[in-house]
Each structure stands twice: as C-alpha cells, then as structure tokens.
Amino acid sequence: MLEQSYGLNFFLKSPKNKKQAKRLIYIRISVDGVAKESSTKRKWVPGRWSQQDERATGLKEDARELNFFLDSLTTKVNSFRTELLNQERPVSAVDLIDYVNGKYKKRNKVLEEFQEHNEEVAALVKRGDYSEGTLERYTTARSHVKEFIRFKYKVDDLPFAALNYEFVKNYNHYLRTVRNCSNNTSLKYISNFKKIVLRAVAKDIIPKDPFKLFTGKNVNNI
C-alpha cells in the first residue's frame, strides 16, 4: 500500500526565549496527512531566512553551506523514501523522521515476521517449552500464507499495511477451496496467522488488527 501524499518542509522554530537571535531549523515530514517534525540541530537568524524558499538568503559562505546541508538532507530523505517504496515497505512520517535521527528500524513484511516468530518457537522447542507439533503447525501455517500471497498477489511477500478485512476473507476462501481445508481447519490456520498479525500490532508495524471484523465460527460435526 503506497502512501497517497508526501511533504517535506523546513522552518525556524520559535524559541521560548524570544531574545535569542538564532533559531533552530526544524524539518517537518508529512505522509498521508500525518506530520512529524524534528530539529536539524542547525541554527539560523530569521532576518537571513526565506520561509517561502525554506532556505537561507544571501550569498555568504555560511548561507551556502547551510543550504547545501538542507539540500543534501532533502535528497537523502527522498532517496530513502524511494528505497522503501521500491521494496514495497510501509512509509510513514515516523519512519522518515527516525531515519533523519538515525533511529530507523526496518519493519518486517508479513512472511519475514512469520519466519522470525517460527525461529523463536524453534528455539523454545529445543528448550522443551514447546512441542515439535506446535512448530510444525506454525511452519505449515506460514507455508499456506506464502502460497496464498503468490497465488493472489503474484509477489513473494507483502507489507502488513496491505492486510485488511478483504485479505482475510480471501485467505479463508483460498484455504477452503484451493487448499480444500475444512471450515475448522481453515479457522485454525487463520488463528495461527492472527498471532503473527497481533505481534505486528504490538511492535507498531501496523496500527490495528485487520482480522478484527472477521467472524469465522467453528462447525461441530455430528
């Protein structure tokens, strides 16, 4: 899921002490209407700043150096954003500001997070905390999700931002038809997958559970 809008701006932050001659230059990044800002750790005087151009004015060496810094920072942020989009990874204002501050952490895609979970389970199996059957169940569940993503979306993986109610509904239909699973078996695989999704919610990879509206029910065979 690509972001719909994007903006990057620089401005002088008004200090609490109005007597200060120089003001900190802030960067503000907006993605899909959500804005985040951070200090560039550079200071400048209002009288030599054009808010229309968002750059220092004049031809003095210090102005040229500052403008070069702001141009370079803009290029770096735009290049990083393009890199995320090319990798089909989610892009948010928080991600980009974290990148500016050197704090960005890659957010896993669906199968990456599933694999990370399964490796943790495998380590716990060796400790005797989980059974081999539990690991086998999650391994199979990941395999089904992987096959569904290739079947439906023709890609190797998806960002969590691509998950929604329609995805869950289609996955359930895929399990019931293409995989020929029973209703109860399908729900078990969906439950296994939901655990991975809730991990992503807890890690702030996505803001909410796309499975929330899905209301599959077990069927009692008589």
For 155-182, the pLDDT digits (tens) are 999 988 889 999 999 999 999 999 999 9
pLDDT of residue 220: 57
The region of weakest confidence among 23-27, 126-130, 136-140, 208-212 is 208-212
Above 60 in pLDDT, residue 189? yes
Residue 147 pLDDT > 90, yes or no? yes
pLDDT at residue 3 in the model: 55
What is the reported pLDDT for 20?
74
| Residue 106 pLDDT exceeds 50 | yes
Residue 118 tokens, joined? 């399964």
What average pLDDT does this structure show over 130-136?
A: 95
- Residue 23 forms beta bridges with which residues? 44
What was the pLDDT predicted at 2?
54
What pLDDT, in 10s, does the model give residues 38-65?
A: 999 999 999 999 999 999 999 999 999 9
pLDDT for res 222: 42
What is the distance, to the nearest Å, from the Cα of residue 185 to the centroid of all Cα atoms in its chain?
A: 30
Q: How far apart are the first and last CA of the chain?
A: 44
Over residues 93-119, mean pLDDT: 92
Task: Catalogue the long-range contacts made by 210-218 (C-beta closer than 8 Å, 24 or more residues apart).
Answer: 210/163, 210/164, 210/165, 210/167, 210/168, 211/168, 213/165, 214/165, 214/168, 214/169, 214/172, 214/190, 216/172, 216/183, 216/186, 216/187, 216/190, 217/187, 218/183, 218/184, 218/187
Backbone CA torsion sign across 49, 52, 54, 59: negative
CB of 89 closer than 8 Å to CB of 107: yes
pLDDT of residue 36: 96
Residue in 29, 42, 162, 159 with CA at minimum distance from that of residue 98:
29
User: Is the Cβ–Cβ distance between 32 and 4 less than 8 Å?
Assistant: yes
pLDDT at 217 over 80: no
CB 148 within 8 A of CB 121: no
Identify the pLDDT of residue 219: 54
pLDDT at position 22, please?
92
**pTM exceeds 0.85 for this model:** no
Mean pLDDT of 18-34: 90
The amino acid at 144: H
